[in-house]
Amino acid sequence: MSDYLKLKKSNCKNCYKCIRHCPVKSIRFSGNQAHIIGDECILCGQCFVVCPQNAKEIVDDTEKVKVLMQNGPVVVSLAPSFAANYNGVGIGAMTEALKQLGFLAVEETAIGATMVKTEYDRMINEESRDVVISSCCHSVNLLIQKYFPTALQYLADVMSPMQAHCSDLKKRYPAAKTVFIGPCVSKKDEAGRYKGIVDAVLTFEELSAWLKAENIELKEVPDSEEKSRARFFPTTGGILKTMACNNPKYTYMAVDGVENCIAALKEIECGNIKNCFIEMSACVGSCVGGPVMEKRHRSPVRDYSAIAKFAGDLDFDVDMPEPDEIRKPFEIINRNIQQPSESEIAAILRQMGKIKQSDELNCGSCGYNTCREKAIAIYQGKAEISMCLPFLKDKAESFSDNVVNNTPNGLIVLNESLEVQQINNAARKIMNIRYASDVLGEQVIRILDPAVFLEVLNGGKDVRDRRIYLAEYKKYVEQSVIYDKEYHLLICIMSDVTDEETEREKKENISRQTVEIADKVVDKQMRIVQEIASLLGETAAETKIALSKLKESIADE
């Protein structure tokens, strides 16, 4: 399964958007990367569509098709949704362009759709079936095979239009290989699961890239065909539009979108739906809303209009195969997923900080609908505790609060209007502020001179380790003011250096007193020198020099 839809690991940015939009949560997150779980994936392609980093990629089969063409003739089954993808381009223009690429022949998959819808009508009228679910959408088929095995009995055991058409092409072109071109990634998996019918699958994006590389331009030449009612197949209700729907015992309905399909399947499992034919499509809007419609455009009204203009009112003339020839077997696909016990779920919830039920916010930021679902995913190795945004937020806030409130440095945070946004315990101690609420939201001028903040705000240059005296608080501090332009905040860091400054002043006083004493000694010595100058001679001069040097040394300290 993962062979067709892959992940570019380097692009994953931990946004969990793919998990949020995956209807079956078939994505595992570990090591800061998302990984698609092949056994659980239904290849609806939603992760590909919603990924903001383009981290998901569909495996390109262009080179595979080129190899097929080198070894023999290749014919194309072209999905009718091309009319919505390539605006204004008819089947004639598409055929011309594809033949320039080297394909032998091009036909519309709608021919196979005509066979399929005819078999659906026969099945409803000739077989005693209760609920019948259309089997055209491979993603829906996988959904039932993997997640709703009890509803598998209601899935029509009929080939998809792609398979029916390619089987017919191989009858008419015995030596040829077949390539399907359409808007669906799951068709790559369908071709791989049922060997020998479809040899390769290209998406519209792959086809467009190939045409561009060969400098082939599609001509906007529309065309029409009266016998082309099956061209409605890629729209919601399109299968029903082509069917007779004339059995009074049956209710006919169309359901699109995986979530709606899941809801319908749950009703079927509960026995709440009887005598009903249900057209199911994984994509909202059916195939024209497929994940690889070129440029991922989503224009339901325009796309339906394009198909409606392209489609005719009658059926294609087809050689209808025998019922056994168009049969398709479906088997249950086991996912082998272990379910945790209630005590194991509770233990994981506690690790996530969910002690009581009110702690379970079910915010969905991790990608899962509820905290309980997330806990189960953790048990199954699909998720990590760190994916919980409230948990991380509380953890980060707790850590930062511990740092802020226990640092010996005073911290004050201001907005650009110089209003106090945060103040820690150390800052309140420096300024004798009893409660933080006394100053929060107030102008900083109430507690500090705003000059330094205005200097940093207007000049754009931070102040580092500026020593000032807070006369009002009788404190000396070393002050740094940092301007965070991204968050529009001013951060003031203050270190109380009052004791250091007091000690320095004491040392200065001692030094000054020592100098004064030295002066007195010098003066006294000079008087003595004058009295006994005749006796001491040069020795007095040497004593004066020595004492002067002592004085200068003390003064320098």
Greater pLDDT, 229 or 502: 229
- The pLDDT-based confidence of 298 (bands split at 50, 70, 90) is low
Instruction: Verify that 54 and 66 share a domain, yes or no.
Output: no
pLDDT greater than 90 at residue 360: no
| Together in a domain, 30 and 83 | no
Q: Which residue has the higher pLDDT, 51 or 252?
A: 252
What percentage of the chain exceeds 90 in pLDDT? 69
Q: What is the pLDDT of residue 466?
A: 94
pTM, whole model, 2 decimals?
0.74
* Same domain flag for 382 and 417: no
Tokens of 90: 């008819």
Residue 399, domain CATH: 1.10.15
Instruction: Say what the pLDDT of residue 1 is.
Output: 45
Split into its structural domains, the chain has a count of 5
pLDDT at residue 387 greater than cutoff 80: yes
pLDDT tens string 416-454: 999 999 999 999 999 999 999 999 999 999 999 999 999
Q: Are residues 365 and 428 located together in one domain of the fold?
A: no
Question: What pLDDT does 75 receive?
Answer: 98
| Same domain (yes/no): 206, 287 | yes
Residue 501 inside a domain? The answer is no
CA distances from 141 to 43, 128, 196, 254, 363 (A): 11, 22, 19, 15, 31
Mean pLDDT of 332-352: 91
Residue 532 is predicted with a pLDDT of 65
| Inter-CA distances, 172 with 308, 362, 486, Å | 29, 57, 67
pLDDT at 544: 65
Instruction: Provide the pairing of β-strand 489-496 with 410-415.
Output: antiparallel
* Residue of higher predicted confidence among 474 and 520: 474
* 472-488 pLDDT tens trace: 999 999 999 999 998 89
Range of the domain at 373: 342-347+354-406
Q: Span 220-237, mean pLDDT?
A: 93
Predicted local distance difference test score (pLDDT) of residue 287:
94
Q: Is the pLDDT of residue 545 over 80?
A: no
Contact 161, 112 (CB under 8 A): yes
Q: By three-state DSSP, how is residue 199 classified?
A: coil
- Statement to judge: residues 546 and 457 lie in one domain: no
pLDDT digits (tens, 9 = 90+) for 394-409: 666 666 777 777 888 9
Question: Is 552 inside a domain boundary?
Answer: yes
CB 91 within 8 Å of CB 300:
no
Q: Is the pLDDT of residue 535 over 80?
A: no
Residue 547: pLDDT over 50: yes
pLDDT on residue 231: 96
- Are residue 440 and residue 304 in the same domain, yes or no? no
204 shares a domain with 66: yes
How far are the Cα atoms of 80, 108, 137, 398 from residue 113, in angstroms, in the given order? 10, 9, 12, 61
